[in-house]
Structure 1
Amino acid sequence: MQSIKQIITSGKTCIGIEFGSTRIKAVLIDHQGNILASGNFNWENQFVNGIWTYDLNQIWLGLQQAYQALTQNVLEIYETHITQVSSIGISGMMHGYMPFDSHGNLLTPFRTWRNNITSDAAKKLTALFNYNIPQRWSIAHLYQAILNQEDHISQIDYFTTLAGYVHWKLTGEKVLGICEASGMFPIDTQTQNYDAAMIANFNQLIEENHFPWTLNQILPKVLPAGKIAGKLTAEGAKLLDPSGYLQSGIKFCPPEGDAGTGMIATNSIKETTGNISAGTSAFAMIVLEKSLSRVYEQLDIVTTPTGKLVAMAHANNCTTDINVWIKLLSESLHCFGVTLPADKIYETLFNKALEGEKDCGGLLSYGFYSGEHSVDLPNGCPVFLHPTDSHFSLANFMRTHLYSAFGAMKLGMDILIQQEKITISKIVAHGGIFKTPNVASGILAAALNVPIAVMSTASEGGAWGIALLAGYLEMSDDISLTQYLDEIIFKHTDISINQPEPSTVQGYERFIQGYKQNISVAKEAARIYSNT
């Protein structure tokens, strides 16, 4: 059997790189999906001139630093350099807006998924298509820019997402994986391409503007999982690895977003399966057996990386508020000369939450750092409420923030479960919030009143998911993606399942009723704050 060093030097590995909201992560895996090494680069979005964005230079600095950290990790463990791999995959935050001119220049600062600035466009397009177009979607950003009569519109030659942009610069190919593409513009699952009738409707809608382009001319090409989406160019190799060790000519899988990589990382691409990804945002993805009965503003309709129909209940906000409070509590410990590892603080406080009252003792939290479409909130302003008759304790405080982390997403899931009565055979949760066993996963099970499974790989995330899609390129001619995941990647994965605990279900229901009844407080706070 080959040693890991031999596997690396012979190029029988794959690289996955994901641009997350707070971290860019690169992983190296073998063909069985085992992670051999990893590297990270931490970054944060910036709120500039009313727009949530990332600087273009930070994108490339972060990519190079994350890859350099990966190669350094390989050098330290295996005493060798990465010179070749079988395949590479790029993933990033889904949706957003990056328009370019014919010379490849970005025409406006990157507008991320986190912005809620396309309300007029989203409403008009939803009515035009009879298909929900959320504010995050790329087509909503494009049309809002048209409605705003922004100067750059006539110069657009191509527009794409963050993953599509990085992939383009590394390979020269203007393509997207089908799941990522479904967050730019609606997909026809029969043709596995953008919906032709909706494309025609949009082109007719903007015809009077006489732009030098039509929508179909500026969208990326759509590819399903298993298709080669280009190869690393010599220029791309230098861009990714300035040290010069990495060779050009490496195959790339189609670039995907965090929704698609989340489905892969949890083996949730079969009908009636689902996954919940929790980080800066939270979203539940349920693979549908059939279309929903009608359009819901709270639900996106996207696809799996193989093109199957998926309902997505998305919330822009999830763990950011928890992270900020834990940072504050950590600072208070430092004042007393106590320094603990971050993981220990999270684990201790998360377990403390289990001691709290089932309904959180009357406390309420709205961790809206950005706007939240599902509750009609255009701008963010986090709010914590402890009424005079509430039971304000550390346990209730922590439990409240864990409950509210899933509050906005639950509103969309309730539609799927209670109104559409869809069949769900399994929901797998992943993300760092689930690292402490049986805390966030148990709360989520109670919130949705369905069993929640957590795999031993729960914290691996999207970089691993896109690395697996890259690895699938080596086997796509012989087996389906479902077989690849079932028979090779997840065959021996440990899974723990949290069943809904009846008293916690009842307590969460009392909490969510208060959450919904008092959400006007969060809206008013955001309105007042945005006007200051």
Structure 2
Amino acid sequence: MAADPTLVGLDVGTTGVKAIAISTTGEVLARAERGYPLSIPQPGWAEQDPEDWCDAAQSALDDLSVEAASIGLSGQMHGLVVLDGGDRVLRPAILWNDQRTAAECAEIEERVGLARLIELTGNRALPGFTAPKLLWLRNHEPETYAQIRHVLLPKDYVRLRMTGEHAIDAADASGTLLFDVARRRWSEEVCDALGIPTEWLPPAHESTEIGAAGDQAAGALGVGVVEPGILSVVLGTSGVVFAALPEYRADPQARLHVFCHAAPGSWHAMGVMLSAAGSLRWFRDEVAGESYDELTREAGEWPPGAEGLLFQPYLAGERTPHADPNARAAFVGLSLRHNRGSMVRALLEGVAYGQRDSLELLRELGAEADVGRVSGGGARSPLWLKIVSSVLNVTLERTAAEEGAAFGAALLGGVRAGIFADVHEAVAACVRVRDRIEPDPGWAAVYDEGYARFRKLYPALRPLEDA
């Protein structure tokens, strides 16, 4: 009797590679993780050596010690890897969280026209995206730019090193700002307007054809979000509220990102906040010096609303709903009664309010859901989950496997290998819900009022950015 095939997923993240081996019923057989450094050569810059990804990926695969029937790939989106004609890396990769390209973003929106850019790509020009990085190289490193013959994203460079293949999936290509998201192909109009040769860009495929997707699409697949009706709610360093769409539909103001989904012929919209669980980590590391368990225990001693204390979670600027890299965080409403626990409570609630901003915009696009699949480090806190569920007024579900993007990559690899007929069969076979968190009606009423107050914070504090 033949052994059950083993499916492997690799997620090439910002801090390291995560690898997972699963069975065809979703049982986790092995896990591995290998880290690598982040370079910050100047304030606001973020770079990595692509060879570090490849070394870590191979080491993680070795650590799994399995015979893989298929290998799927996921990874950090938007990062720029530039190669010469011999596929040699020309400079360190510029990552998604690099903020150097504000002038190039303005240049793109002027060249293409903001309304047309949103119509074609589903997004406006933001510093994290790939196209502004290419223009920055042209403007600031012309010698390097002149040598470019190939452009890849992080996980796709790992694929090149593993297989020799130049390729990208539609989901990840959607985050380059060079992709016609509605037609699921490179946009000659945008590339021509920006003077970027289309022959630099790898062939674009559906995720199931090459067993790969960007981390958000793969992560949503990994928790079973492949069609409208269920949200993906991510409480990671950044926060995401993600909904599958029945058709391509861009937000006219581009407050949400609209990308191709990993399921062929489908799309998704998502709101992204830059400091979700990252806000709690900052408070723990820089202010409190206590464990997460102790901080959330203290927060649990305070009632919903923390007696009027609010937290605006814009520690690293913000993306949704305010595309403002200069936005800053704030505690508002402190009194002599407030203590550390109340500040943590307000912080947890402020992040939840930020995610509700994204949910309200998704609803404007026609995405309706009363269930969200939650993942990320923050999902380990029962208190935070109850807060988020009550703020969103959505039932949250946790799945049996917590690996998210790596798990979704393993499923995509299985579809590519013919082990599953499609992503729907893969999800039905492998994704299982382990528990549910229901909104608290009493808390939800308090949070409706709190959210109305939260929405007034940014307009009130925004003028201080220019002071």
Shared topology, TM-score over 0.5? yes
Matching of residues 116-515 of structure 1 within 5 Å:
116=99, 117-118=101-102, 119-121=105-107, 123-124=109-110, 125=112, 126-131=114-119, 132-135=123-126, 136-146=128-138, 150-185=142-177, 192-194=184-186, 199-207=187-195, 214=197, 216-227=198-209, 229=210, 253=211, 255-292=212-249, 294-307=251-264, 308-327=266-285, 331=289, 345-374=291-320, 375-379=322-326, 383-385=329-331, 387-389=333-335, 391-417=337-363, 419-424=364-369, 426-437=371-382, 439-457=383-401, 459-475=402-418, 479-486=421-428, 488-490=429-431, 493-515=432-454
2:5 is aligned with 1:63 = no
Q: Distance in 1 between matches of 2:142 and 2:393?
A: 46
2:61 is aligned with 1:87 = no
**Partner-residue secondary structure (3-state), 1:497:** strand
Q: Distance in 2 between matches of 1:21 and 1:526?
A: 29
CA contact (8 A) 2:168 2:203 kept: yes
Q: Distance in 2 between matches of 1:391 and 1:158?
A: 59
Under a length normalisation based on structure 2, what TM-score does the superposition of the two structures give? 0.85
The one-letter code matched in structure 1 to 2:41 is V
CA contact (8 A) 2:309 2:334 kept: no
Q: Distance in 2 between matches of 1:153 and 1:127?
A: 28
C-alpha displacement at 1:386, in angstroms? 5.6
Under a length normalisation based on structure 1, what TM-score does the superposition of the two structures give? 0.76
CA contact (8 A) 1:121 1:141 kept: no
Q: Distance in 1 between matches of 2:168 and 2:337?
A: 50
Matching of residues 86-125 of structure 1 within 5 Å:
86-116=69-99, 117-118=101-102, 119-121=105-107, 123-124=109-110, 125=112
Q: Distance in 2 between matches of 1:527 and 1:170?
A: 48
Residues 67-111 of structure 1: CA deviation (Å, up to 9, x unaligned): 45x34xx5xxxxxxx4x4211122211122222222333344322
Identity %: 19
CA contact (8 A) 2:22 2:28 kept: yes
Q: Distance in 2 between matches of 1:329 and 1:205?
A: 48
Residues 435-462 of structure 1: CA deviation (Å, up to 9, x unaligned): 233x2222222232332222233x2222
The one-letter code matched in structure 2 to 1:316 is L
CA gap 1:460/1:304 in 2 versus in 1, 3 angstroms: same
CA contact (8 A) 2:174 2:181 kept: no
CA gap 1:104/1:32 in 2 versus in 1, 3 angstroms: same
C-alpha displacement at 1:27, in angstroms? 1.4
CA contact (8 A) 1:358 1:508 kept: yes
**Partner-residue secondary structure (3-state), 2:175:** coil
CA contact (8 A) 2:108 2:194 kept: no
The one-letter code matched in structure 2 to 1:66 is A
Q: Distance in 1 between matches of 2:13 and 2:459?
A: 31
CA contact (8 A) 1:455 1:496 kept: yes
CA contact (8 A) 1:379 1:527 kept: no
CA contact (8 A) 2:78 2:96 kept: yes
**Partner-residue secondary structure (3-state), 2:207:** coil
Residues 284-336 of structure 1: CA deviation (Å, up to 9, x unaligned): 2211123437523211111211230211111222212212333457846xxxx
CA gap 1:426/1:128 in 2 versus in 1, 3 angstroms: same
C-alpha displacement at 1:434, in angstroms? 0.8
Q: Distance in 1 between matches of 2:250 and 2:151?
A: 32
Residues 316-368 of structure 1: CA deviation (Å, up to 9, x unaligned): 22212212333457846xxxxxxxxxxxx434433443332312233343444
Unaligned runs of 5+ in 1: 75-81, 208-212, 230-252, 333-344
Unaligned runs of 5+ in 2: none
Matching of residues 23-42 of structure 1 within 5 Å:
23-42=16-35
Q: Distance in 2 between matches of 1:275 and 1:96?
A: 23
CA gap 1:393/1:65 in 2 versus in 1, 3 angstroms: farther
**Partner-residue secondary structure (3-state), 2:372:** strand
Q: Distance in 2 between matches of 1:201 and 1:95?
A: 20
Q: Distance in 2 between matches of 1:401 and 1:432?
A: 15
CA gap 1:190/1:134 in 2 versus in 1, 3 angstroms: closer
CA contact (8 A) 1:114 1:316 kept: no
**Partner-residue secondary structure (3-state), 1:402:** helix
The one-letter code matched in structure 1 to 2:231 is G
**Partner-residue secondary structure (3-state), 1:48:** coil
- What is the Cα-based RMSD across aligned positions, in Å? 3.1
CA contact (8 A) 2:11 2:75 kept: yes
Which has more radius of gyration?
1
Q: Paired residues, what number?
A: 455
**Partner-residue secondary structure (3-state), 1:373:** coil
CA gap 1:318/1:497 in 2 versus in 1, 3 angstroms: same
CA gap 1:425/1:187 in 2 versus in 1, 3 angstroms: farther
CA gap 1:143/1:425 in 2 versus in 1, 3 angstroms: farther
Residues 106-147 of structure 1: CA deviation (Å, up to 9, x unaligned): 344322222343441453443333432341322243345456
The equivalent residue for 1:51 is: 45
